[in-house]
């Protein structure tokens, strides 16, 4: 039996090469080994204000991008959270078993709410209960997340254990796995800060759907330094970041790359880098265009996924309802 792995990704912002190199590529590679469920978490997205049209378009765009990147509907399930109502239904029940104190300890809420604590939605506060429902509905063994989401997965564990001890074995107790730190890609405009989906500065990130010209222009404008030598060196974050991106897209080793650029200048490095990114993203972008040209097909891929896993979610929900005396 393969391990069940559940991953959630928000359909907001633009997916960039940092997301691709460190997360999406690993998801794709892990498909033969795990029983993967990938969930586009639109219900989580509405915990902060969203434009309805944009949200819907972004959910479909993300689905197409993930299929284009290699998520294989024969091996894995990729679906949109709001298409299975059991997520909301289980979240409500879990709400009634999560003590306020546990929720008040969640650090991400404190960061996201900032000074607006009285204005943000109850949903933003309750975000971890919905995330626990996502995970627990599918008898998930492992949840790959970044450090920032670990506390939420731990809350899902705690509520599963609490429920099991009150009502008898109901939930599989999941665990968070922090993937080995793959590529950490930094902003092109500021190589001391992580490339981020929410940063809006035009030169900051290379998004997976950027055109070749946009990619070239962003790379050519990337911040470097006033030295000359082209070497992997963490003390020179600009050049180091460009070389790291080059390493991932070219598949060459660090010493091969240093040899290749020996005696060359930053303009040469940037030109070559832009081309490996353009070529590296080309197949993904052309599959993306094919998928989005046929929305009926894209929607049918998503609904086939839903029909595979809805029975699992409903079975868990029925069991939980039965345990607590509902239904
Ligand atoms: P986020 O963009 O924060 O929703 O993250 C989605 C996934 O991409 C997570 O697995 C992150 O660890 C990864 N990720 C986000 N930004 C970067 C980055 N700049 N470099 C490498 N990985 C990243
Ligand atoms: N909160 C996660 C994030 O912002 C997304 C998410 C929602 C998730 N539900 C999940 C991740 C369940 C893993 C499992 O990145």
Q: What stretch of H or E contains 6?
A: strand 4-9
Mean pLDDT throughout 84-104?
98
Ligand 2 pocket, mutate which of 59, 77, 112, 145 (most atoms under 8 A from CB): 145
Percent of the residues in the chain that have a pLDDT greater than 90, as a whole number:
92
CA atoms within 13 A of residue 50's CA, in its CB half-sphere: 20
Tell me the CA–centroid distance for residue 162 and ligand 1, in Å: 31
Q: Which of 21, 23, 48 to mutate to test the pocket of ligand 1 (most atoms within 8 A of CB)?
A: 23
For the CA of 144, the closest atom of ligand 2 is 13
Q: Which residues contact 222 (CB under 8 A, 6 or more apart)?
A: 188, 189, 191, 203, 238, 241, 242, 270
Residue 181 has pLDDT above 70, yes or no: no
Closest CA to 150 of 186, 213, 105, 217: 105
Q: Catalytic residue positions?
A: 112, 194, 197
pLDDT at 22 > cutoff 90: no
Residue nearest to atom 3 of ligand 2 (CA): 9
| Per-residue pLDDT tens over the stretch 244-277 | 999 999 999 999 999 999 999 999 999 999 999 9
Ligand 1 touching residue 224 (CB < 6 A): no
pLDDT higher than threshold 90 for residue 180: no
> Whose alpha carbon is nearest atom 15 of ligand 2?
9
Which ligand places an atom closest to the C-alpha of 108? 2
Q: Where is pLDDT greater, at 177 or 183?
A: 177
Residue 13 confidence (pLDDT)? 87
Percent of the chain with pLDDT over 70: 99
| pTM score above 0.85 | yes
Contact by Cβ (8 Å): 106, 151: yes
**Mean pLDDT value across the chain:** 96
Would the CB of 18 count as within 6 Å of ligand 1? yes
Distance from the CA of 149 to the center of ligand 2, in angstroms? 7
Q: What is the mean pLDDT of residues 80-98?
A: 98
Q: Which pLDDT belongs to residue 146?
A: 82
Average pLDDT of the residues in 153-182: 93
Q: Is 289 in the pocket of ligand 1 (CB under 6 A)?
A: no
Task: Classify burial at 171, counting beta carbons within 10 Å of its beta carbon; exposed 0-12, middle 13-18, buried 19 or more.
Answer: buried
Q: Is 7 in the pocket of ligand 1 (CB under 6 A)?
A: no
| Ligand 1 center from residue 211 Cα (angstroms) | 21
Token pair belonging to 154: 């731990």
Q: Are 240 and 234 in contact (CB under 8 A)?
A: yes
Ligand 1 neighbourhood includes 148 CB (under 6 angstroms): no
Q: DSSP for 138-198?
A: TT-SEEE--HHHHHHHHHHHHHHHHHHHHHSS-S---EEE-------PBPSS-TTSB--TT
Q: How far is residue 306's CA from residue 303's CA, in Å, rounded to a whole number?
A: 5
pLDDT per residue as tens digits for the range 304-322: 999 999 999 999 999 999 9
Residue 177 CA to residue 33 CA, distance in Å, equals: 15
Would you place residue 128 in the very low, low, confident or very high pLDDT band (cuts 50, 70, 90)? very high
Residue 182 has pLDDT above 70, yes or no: no
Question: Mean per-residue pLDDT for 188-205?
Answer: 93
Which of 15, 16, 19 gets mutated to test ligand 1 (max ligand atoms within 8 A of its CB)? 19
Tokens, residue 266: 């930053």
Minimal CA–CA distance to 132: which of 44, 222, 33?
A: 44
Quick check: CB of 109 below 6 Å from ligand 2? no
Q: Is 40 helix (H, G, I), strand (E, B) or coil?
A: strand
Nearest alpha carbon to residue 173 among 141, 200, 198: 141
Task: Determine which residue's CA is closest to atom 5 belonging to ligand 2.
Answer: 8
CA of 262 to the centre of ligand 1 (A): 31
CA count, 13 A, side-chain hemisphere, 296: 0
**CA 245 / ligand 2 centre spacing (Å):** 26
All domains of the chain in start order, with CATH: 4-178+295-324 (3.40.50.620), 212-289 (1.10.240.10)
> Among 130, 103, 276, which Cα is nearest to 206's?
276
Euclidean distance between CA atoms 215 and 169, whole angstroms: 52
Cβ(41) – ligand 1 distance below 6 Å: no
């Amino acid at each position: 039996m393969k391990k069940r792995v559940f991953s959630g990704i928000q359909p907001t912002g633009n997916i960039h090469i940092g997301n691709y190199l460190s997360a999406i590529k690993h998801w794709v590679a892990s498909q033969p080994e795990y029983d993967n469920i990938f969930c586009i978490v639109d219900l989580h997205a509405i915990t902060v204000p969203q434009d309805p049209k944009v949200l819907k378009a972004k959910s479909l765009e993300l689905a197409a991008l993930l299929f284009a990147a290699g998520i294989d509907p024969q091996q894995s399930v990729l679906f949109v959270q709001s298409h299975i109502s059991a997520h909301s239904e289980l979240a409500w029940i879990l709400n009634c078993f999560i003590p306020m104190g546990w929720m008040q300890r969640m650090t991400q809420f404190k960061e996201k709410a900032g000074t607006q604590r009285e204005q943000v939605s109850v949903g933003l506060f309750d975000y971890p209960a919905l995330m626990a429902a996502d995970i627990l509905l599918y008898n998930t063994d492992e949840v790959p997340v970044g450090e920032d989401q670990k506390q939420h997965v731990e809350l899902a564990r705690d509520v599963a254990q609490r429920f099991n001890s009150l009502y008898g074995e109901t939930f599989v107790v999941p665990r968070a796995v922090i993937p080995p730190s793959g590529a950490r890609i930094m902003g092109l405009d500021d190589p001391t800060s992580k490339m981020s989906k929410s940063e809006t500065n035009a030169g900051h990130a290379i998004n997976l759907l950027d055109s070749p010209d946009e990619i070239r222009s962003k790379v050519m404008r990337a911040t470097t330094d006033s030295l000359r030598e082209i070497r992997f060196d963490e003390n020179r974050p600009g050049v180091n970041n460009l070389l790291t991106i080059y390493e991932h897209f070219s598949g060459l080793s660090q010493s091969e790359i240093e040899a290749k650029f020996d005696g060359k200048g930053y303009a040469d490095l940037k030109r070559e880098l832009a081309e490996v990114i353009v070529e590296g993203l080309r197949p993904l972008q052309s599959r993306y265009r094919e998928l989005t040209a046929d929305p009926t097909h894209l929607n049918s891929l998503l609904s086939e996924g839903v029909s595979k896993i809805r029975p699992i979610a409903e079975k868990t929900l029925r069991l939980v309802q039965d345990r607590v005396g509902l239904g």
